Amino acid sequence: MFDWNDARYFLAIARGRTLSAAGRTLKVQQSTVGRRLSALEEALGARLFERTPEGYLLTDAGEAMLAHAERIEDEALSAERSLLGREGRIAGLVRMTAPQAFGNQFVVPLLARLHAEQPEIVVELVADNANLSLTKREADLALRLGRPQQPLLLIRRLGEVGNGLYAARSYLSRRGRPSGDLTGHDYIDYDETYLQKQAVAWFRQRTRGGRCTVRLNGSHGIAAAVTAGMGVGPLPCWLGDGTPGLERVLPGEGYDQELWLVMHRDLRHVARVRAVTDFFVRELRRSGPQLRGRPPRRRSARS
């Protein structure tokens, strides 16, 4: 029989298409991946990949192995979640993911309060706009903008995150305040890699008549460009309202995104995960007015 652990190496190669990519995923040397693949092919008596300039491509035997390896992975992860669900001590590591700017600037300050309440819990926060897989245990908890659609997940709606249009006071004193639309004004746009496509569509409907000065792939960069006076930019209200020197413009324009907390249902009885979940449900609901954004000043809109 082959070493069942080699199925992990096989899957990493099939998904990454190179030994180096598989090594990065598994956090091992490329040479180790190559040795484990050779051992697996020898044990099975079959060649699983064709080595091509485009990378490692599955042979017929590899395609048959892929279905079995994915079932092995699913069963191993299911067993892990089931056993973790029996844990009762409120201590240990909780891996959490959140959108990049929101995670780094809004969630991180809350972790100090969580640590004071639960000093034996260590949160590992991955602030990234890409959605990590909770099913594959890439994270235990996730904060996501927009209602998740994946199966086997428990979701809780925490409220709404408001978005608006912001400009620096220095820009407004130099160029005047937009009225009705961005005609005659500079603006900062999202680049094509930005993942929140609904936010991109909302903003671009409002840029007609304006001139783009720069495109950026995240709210931190847009906030920096707006602060530097490069034009009007779209920002979540918690960030725009909290950045010194910025004002909200075109107060009638806004876009709301639902904020959800997500976990795999097999982890709902894990004490440390439950404690972190309850903490963020409480704190983020308390932060509702800040997340939605304070009402724009009507006086500024008329000036």
Looking at residue 88, its pLDDT comes to 53
> In this structure, are residues 279 and 117 in contact, taking their beta carbons and an 8 Å threshold?
yes
Residues 53 and 75 in one domain: yes
Please indicate, yes or no, if residue 40 is contained in any of the structural domains: yes
Residues 194 and 233 in one domain: yes
* DSSP state for residue 296 in the 8-state scheme: P
Read off the CATH number of the domain in which 232 is found. Answer: 3.40.190.10
Residues 252 and 264 in one domain: no
Please indicate, yes or no, if residue 1 is contained in any of the structural domains: no
Please name which of 269, 66, 213 lies closest in space to residue 221, comparing C-alpha atoms: 213
User: Splitting the chain (303 residues) into consecutive groups of 10 residues, what average pLDDT does each group show?
Assistant: 81 92 91 91 90 91 89 80 63 90 94 94 88 74 87 87 95 92 93 84 89 93 96 95 93 89 86 92 93 61 32
CA–CA dist 42, 20 (Å, integer): 21
Residues 123 and 268 in one domain: yes
User: 64, 84, 104: which is the final residue of a domain?
Assistant: 84
Please name which of 118, 128, 103 lies closest in space to residue 194, comparing C-alpha atoms: 128
Looking at residue 186, its pLDDT comes to 96
Residues 273 and 148 in one domain: yes
Residues 127 and 229 in one domain: no
Tokens 């894990």 appear where? 270
Using DSSP bridges, classify how beta strands 92-98 and 121-127 pair: parallel, antiparallel or unpaired: parallel
Looking at residue 129, its pLDDT comes to 76
Instruction: Count H helices and E strands in the chain, helices first.
Output: 13, 11
Looking at residue 303, its pLDDT comes to 30
Looking at residue 1, its pLDDT comes to 62
Q: Could you tell me where the DSSP H helices lie in 27-131? A: 30-44, 60-84, 100-102, 108-117
Residues 216 and 194 in one domain: yes
Sign of the dihedral defined by the CA atoms of residues 28, 31, 32, 36, in that order: positive
- The tens digit of pLDDT for each residue in 188-241 reads 999 888 878 888 888 988 888 899 999 998 899 999 999 999 999 999 999 999
Cα distances (Å, whole numbers) of residue 146 to 160, 167, 195, 261, 283: 9, 26, 12, 10, 19
Looking at residue 206, its pLDDT comes to 87
User: 59, 84, 109: which is the final residue of a domain?
Assistant: 84
Q: 267 lies in which domain range? A: 92-157+260-285
Q: What is the dihedral of CA 63, 64, 65, 66, to 10 degrees?
A: 50
Structure tokens at 38: 């050779």
- The tens digit of pLDDT for each residue in 102-117 reads 999 999 999 999 999 9
Read off the CATH number of the domain in which 71 is found. Answer: 1.10.10.10
Looking at residue 109, its pLDDT comes to 94
CA–CA dist 119, 127 (Å, integer): 22
Residues 41 and 29 in one domain: yes
Please indicate, yes or no, if residue 114 is contained in any of the structural domains: yes
Looking at residue 138, its pLDDT comes to 80
Residues 203 and 298 in one domain: yes
Looking at residue 295, its pLDDT comes to 58
CA–CA dist 176, 288 (Å, integer): 32
What length does the chain have? 303
Q: What's the structural domain count of the chain?
A: 3
Residues 137 and 109 in one domain: yes
User: 39, 67, 84: which is the final residue of a domain?
Assistant: 84
Residues 234 and 96 in one domain: no
pTM, two decimal places: 0.67
Looking at residue 217, its pLDDT comes to 87
